[in-house]
Chains A and B, each alone.
Chain A
Amino acid sequence: MIIRRIFAALFAIFFFISAYVLIADIGFGNNKMDDLVGKYYIENTIKDTTALNVVSTVVVNYRGLDTLGEVTVLFVASVSVGVLMARFKGSKLWNVSTTPIHITAGRILFPLIWIFGAYIFVHRHLTPGGWFPGGAVIASGVLLLMLAFKDYLPSSKLITFSESISGSLYVLVGLIGLAIGGYFLYDFVYRTYGIGTIGTLISGGFIPIVYTIIGVKDGVELSGILHHLSRDDTE
């Protein structure tokens, strides 16, 4: 037992040193921006899309297919939990003992949590990747409700339908881009119709549209996962 522990520790340390030597060799903080791709993104974001947040443009526009894959992976997670937990039909929630503290605190905190989530969400154009943390915070608000009020369960039908609709909407936006501009996930809002001026609310091409769709999807999906995980066999 001790031998195994020592061996494992030694292995971890050995890994640490060798990996670190290799990575440190590559250098940190060097200005590698004469490389092709990053420089292009930074220099051309405003020209290509009128958005101010370079990372949002990369995520939604230049590498939009990756984001579609990412949203799909989140959906895979949601249905995975659904498939594996489907056997448990009991609607009894976890055996959490709620006290008046939970209930009172829940009542106060929940609107605040949702306001915070909405804030992250609305300012998505200023924070990179605003949809995922926004949705996650909203889902955590739902979790608080589930813990504080024993009988509360987000409606499963609503969740499934919202997931399906928002997911399909994203693909539909891509297909509309295909129809209008000839390429899947083409930014037709800006590049075809020229809608949007820099710095105003309506800017960034179809980034706000996409972010809204996937933000809603994310919040709904995580809540769905919570719903599935909360069903418990009465043991």
Chain B
Amino acid sequence: MIIFWAYISAIGLISIGIYGLLMKRHAFKLIISLGLISTGVNLLLISIGYIIGGTAPIYPKNLNISAPMVDPLPQALVLTAIVIETAILAAALSLAILMHREYGTLDVRVIWRRLR
């Protein structure tokens, strides 16, 4: 099995996030775990576009390219994906604040029981 560090870090982040999602009970920690998963996915997405020995897809003034350029499309996709995650994060944090107001606690298991 060949080691690609970019993929290892991306999937590692996702795995840590999954572990956190399964184990933790505090709402903020769940939000952080989900954020980790999203970050890992973004890292994965951007690693897909890499070309070994490639250079950034920006033309210098004299338009001479020394090496092949990496794929610009995943970078555009990841830009959008990061912004979308930030938005979800902001909304989720506000929800957590509201939950705290209503229940006095952020332990999801306690809240679940109270809902019955």
Contacts and interface: CB of A to CB of B under 8 A. Distances in A.
Q: Do chains A and B touch in the complex (CB under 8 A)?
A: yes
Interface of A: 4-5, 7-9, 11-13, 15-16, 19-21, 23-24, 26, 28-33, 37-38, 41-42, 45-46, 52-55, 58-59, 63, 66-67, 69-70, 73-74, 76-78, 80-81, 84-85, 126, 128-129, 132, 198-199, 225, 228-229, 233
A15 B14 contact: yes
B115 interface: no
Nearest to A18: B11
Interface of B: 1-2, 4, 6-8, 11-12, 14-16, 18-19, 22-23, 44, 47-52, 54, 57-61, 63, 68-69, 71-73, 75-77, 79-80, 82-84, 86-88, 90-91, 93-95, 97-98, 101
Nearest to A51: B59
Contacts of A42: 57, 69, 72
Contacts of B4: 24, 28-29
A8 B94 CA distance: 28
Given A54-B58, A70-B83, A199-B61, A229 B94 contact: yes
B11 A19 contact: yes
B44 to A, nearest CB: 7
B53 to A, nearest CB: 8
Interface of A, secondary structure class, is helix
A16 B86 contact: no
A222 B86 CA distance: 10
9 contacts: A8-B22, A15-B14, A16-B11, A37-B73, A55-B76, A80-B91, A128-B79, A129-B75, A229-B93
B57 to A, nearest CB: 4
Contacts of B84: 70, 73
Contacts of B8: 20
A27 B95 CA distance: 40
B94 A80 contact: yes
Contacts of A198: 63
Contact of A8 (B7, B23, B72): B23
A55 B79 CA distance: 10
Contact of B75 (A11, A21, A55, A233): A55
Contacts of A58: 72-73, 75-76
Contacts of A85: 94, 97
Contacts of A69: 80
A20 B76 contact: no
Contacts of A16: 11-12, 14-15
A84 B72 contact: no
A23 B5 CA distance: 12
Contacts of A199: 61
B90 A66 contact: no
A165 B20 CA distance: 41
B91 A81 contact: yes
Contacts of B49: 38
A20 to B, nearest CB: 5
Given A54-B58, A55-B57, A126-B58, A30 B51 contact: yes
B21 to A, nearest CB: 9
Contacts of A20: 1, 7-8, 11
